[in-house]
Structure 1
Amino acid sequence: MCNWVLKNTVLFLVLLMVSCGGMQSNSQTSSTTSPTIEQSNELLLTGAENTKAYLSLLKGKKVGIITNPSGILFASNAENDTLSNGKIITVHQFYQRDETGGFQKYSKSIVDFLLESNINVQKIFAPEHGFRGTADAGEHIVDGKDTKTGLPIISLYGNNKKPKPEQLAGIDIMVFDLQDVGARFYTYISSLHYIMEACAENHIPLLVLDRPNPNGGIVDGPVLEKENTSFVGMHTIPVLHGMTIGEYAQMINGEKWLKDGKQCELTVIPCLNYKRDMEYSLPVRPSPNLPNDQSINLYASLCFFEGTNVSVGRGTDLQFQIYGSPFLKNMPFRFTPQPNLGAKEPMHKGQLCYGEDLSMVKKVSRLELKWLLKAYANTEDKTKFFNDFFTKLAGTKILRQQIEAGLTEEAIRASWKKGLEAFKKIRQPYLLY
């Protein structure tokens, strides 16, 4: 288990200047641009921390931003980074000398950083879970005002998933900074789609600050069928897409998945020194019910339970690391869900659930079905196991049919092969790393 510290920010000083290339056209589409990626040192910087590449693009403009607590910076490669000894360094703008003369790390939200950089932020747009990230999954979020900055907050969840023209009035450029986890049903990429669509329709440029995919390059699972499109699956992709959110934005644009085939004026600010196969530990939870690396790694495999009568640990401290229900009484692990952060009314609240503890299992490198199949085999009444939401999560009716027919995991996986091969070919031109 990781300790929720961004592993690549343990270095205190980097003495070489980062030189970030200028803007140039990306070959995917005429409406997409990205800065040149220069791997100048070994410290990983997210797109938000790659400040030299985008601050100049925001100066003198009225800015709207979609973000939440996952939009956080621990370092910067801004031009004016200095220490008290006068030496210019490339990162750690957010390190300060402590009373012993050493350096102490602290973090900033992207909103605070932009305001302190004299960027004219006009509005915050909040996705599922809200700007402060405390709302339950699926909970209705209302518009409001951020108590710290006084900025208006526009909710992009519930009935208003796509910004309205009047909500974008006066905005010169939009910034998108959310931490995705690489799964089709994680709704931040759905919010990305609607932001891109609104920007295209209102002729507003969009800047996406890229972040690593904590599930790396894993591409796996059934490909969504168009008739099963929903907010938890908007595009014909597999469950695990193996892309960063910036790469995904380029694919949305390049494949013309927006309404009427529109494309937005898109700029992706890349991560520096990131490789798709490197392990990446998130510094903060990306949403209330993904508290650590283990939950993020198991999320795609266990999220199918959200379409069944089985709990994934909402209402416990082991969200997406355990599963169980009152109907699996022959399974050994026991827990009782109770209301907590991100789960005011958890499934089976106050009821003893039987299941399995996966909090210590080895990291998975594919979409695992074995736990879903085990639960189905052990449930008391198979006719009550699935609900209608399962098909939306799976993106196809076939997976439920395969499970009910008793197919093995490997037989089910074999049926995904053709779709996965086709997706990888579509995906390839949009990869940055």
Structure 2
Amino acid sequence: MTDFKPFKSTYLFLVLLLNFNLISCAQKTKVNQNNHVKTISEIKTGAERTDLYLNILKGKNVAIVANQTSVLNVLQRAEVAPNVMGSKKITHHLVDYLHNNNTINVKKVFAPEHGFRGKADAGEIVKDGLDTKTNLPIVSLYGKNKKPTLKQLKNIDIVVFDIQDVGARFYTYISSLHYVMEACAEANIPVLLLDRPNPNAHYIDGPVLETSHKSFVGMHNVPVVYGMTIGEYGQMINGEKWLNNGIACDLKVIPVLNYNHQTQYSLPIKPSPNLPNGKSINLYPSLCFFEGTNVSAGRGTSMQFQIYGSPFLSKNSFSFTPKENEGAKYPKHKNKLCFGEDLRDSKNLNQLDLSYLISAYKQNTAKDFFNNFFTKLAGTKKLQEQIEKGLSADEIKNTWQKDLNDFKLIREKYLIYK
């Protein structure tokens, strides 16, 4: 009878070698076609750096500000072949992961706009509830109150904040962060912020918000695109004394590993229902201005924030009809044929692009193009006035430069990643 022992040994060795190569390849740095931009494949988010924060939470009553993006990958031993053990990344939701840790007492979850599972429409009131998986109470920060109350924070020792931001001023998660920090500062409760990469951190652009136009879609004197992670932004909220009466929150940021502002990062989970992919996230700062006009930015389609159009624009070869779908129960121009532009194959932006907005304004045949929401999004009345006067995109952007330079000096003080 033939002896197969040498063959078995060789097979096991090859499997082990293959597994080692797969792990080591995942840790290598890739260079993008743009030579000055590097893509690091092995980024560790703040949530994944458990060695830096589990001991902080041990024995504490914890509240977590989280949504569907609050996940972490944990390396666990797993069988990769018969009788061969290797390692495998297991994805956990942060709430589940901490709730299953017997040394940590998770008491409740705070949910921002779009809810804990991220399915609510933009602007839709989110109700309190109960998480069916953990039986933890879910407290809405986009319903009766946007700021946690003292009652809601009663008996809480520490608040963990872990939400994926996209780096645009009118994306409301930074406003939720402000109110969480303010409430915790007033209640003398520390905040542990688990940082995540900002997919739009590679540039700074747009008009700086004027104080007279503050709202939940713009609470701070920053440009539309501010080029900071949410952890850096939290440090700026504290340092610039933007909280009520200039109070400071006891804030600790767990930084991202292997990351800088030029690192390209593809979000593993869509951050909200109408940002389905990287193209929509890249275009979002430029196309969100349409939310303050009679033009649709694609809500009610599968191409949200990758197209724009309206029944009042010039008829051309590209058209779409918004219909009710998840994340858009009442889309603008529902069931009406819209003409506009398809940007899905456009080059990724490294600046805020006003050309789409100006082009649509010039084509518009309706009586009114802008609505009252536009000034809140822009953070100034000047942008609408400049477009109505016929200024070019370059002429408008030139008026932002002094404010942008002033902001960059402030921003520099709070950067974690260079």
TM-score by shorter chain over 0.5: yes
What residue number does 1:259 align with?
A: 244
Query: 1:85-115: CA deviations, max 9, x gaps?
Result: xxxxxxx24x743566566544111111112
Corresponding position of 2:44: 45
Q: What SS does the aligned partner of 2:330 have?
A: coil
Q: Please state whether the residue corresponding to 1:246 is helix, strand or coil.
A: helix
Q: Does 1:13 align with 2:23?
A: yes
| RMSD of aligned residue pairs (Cα, Å) | 1.7
**Max radius of gyration: which structure?**
2
The separation in 1 between residues aligned to 2:379 and 2:260, in whole angstroms, is 29
**Following superposition of structure 1 onto structure 2, how do residues 303-318 of structure 1 map, counting pairs within 5 Å?**
303-318=288-303
> What TM-score do the two structures reach when normalised by structure 1?
0.85
* 2:280 partner amino acid: S
**Which sections of structure 2, spanning at least 5 residues, go unmatched?**
1-19, 26-39
Specify the alignment match of 2:113 in structure 1.
Answer: 128
> The residue matched to 1:191 in structure 2 has which SS?
helix
**Cα offsets for 1:306-330 (capped at 9, x unmatched):** 0000001001000000000111133
Q: Structure with the greater relative contact order (CA < 8 A, sep ≥ 6): 1 or 2?
A: 1
Cα contact 1:226–1:236 (8 A) shared by 2? yes
Deviation digits for residues 225-263 of structure 1, max 9, x if unmatched?
A: 000000000000000000000000000000000011010
| Alignment check: 8 A CA contact 1:313 1:320 kept | yes
In the other structure, the counterpart of 1:107 is 91
C-alpha contact (below 8 Å) 1:323/1:355 kept by paired residues: yes
Aligned partner of 1:279 in structure 2 is 264
1:5 aligned residue: none
Instruction: Tell me by how many angstroms 1:42 deviates.
Output: 7.5
1:55 counterpart residue number: 54
Partner Cα distance (1:375, 1:202) in 2: 48
Tell me the alpha carbon deviations over residues 125-175 of structure 1, each in whole angstroms, 9 at most, x when there is no partner: 000000011000000111110011100000000331000000000100000
Q: Structure 1 residue aligned with 2:308, among 320, 323, 338? A: 323
Amino acid across the alignment from 2:73 = F
Residue 408 (str. 1) matches residue 388 (str. 2):
no
Q: Give the C-alpha shift of residue 120 in structure 1.
A: 1.0
Equivalenced residue count is: 381
TM-score scaled to structure 2, two decimals?
0.88
Q: 1:347 aligns with which of 290, 314, 332?
A: 332
Identify the residue that residue 284 of structure 2 maps to in structure 1: 299
Find out whether 1:194 has 2:179 as its counterpart.
yes
1:97 aligns with 2:79: yes
Checking the alignment, whether the CA contact within 8 Å between 1:210 and 1:245 is kept in structure 2 is yes
Deviation per CA, 1:19-52, whole angstroms, max 9, x where unpaired? xxxxxxxxxxxxxxxxxxxxxx973100000111
Task: Specify the SS of the correspondent of 1:317.
Answer: coil
The residue identity in structure 2 corresponding to 1:170 is: N
Contact 2:202–2:350, Cα closer than 8 Å, also in 1: no
Q: Verify: 1:146 aligned to 2:131, yes or no.
A: yes
Q: Which residue of 2 aligns with 1:178?
A: 163
Q: Distance in 1 between matches of 2:315 and 2:150?
A: 55
Change (3 A) 1:320 1:163: same
Q: Which runs of 5+ in 1 are unaligned?
A: 1-9, 16-40, 76-91
Which aligned pairs between 1:328-407 and structure 2 lie closer than 5 A? 328-381=313-366, 383-407=367-391
AA of the residue aligned to 2:139: I
User: Residue 173 of structure 1 contacts residue 205 of structure 1 at CA under 8 Å; is this kept in 2?
Assistant: yes
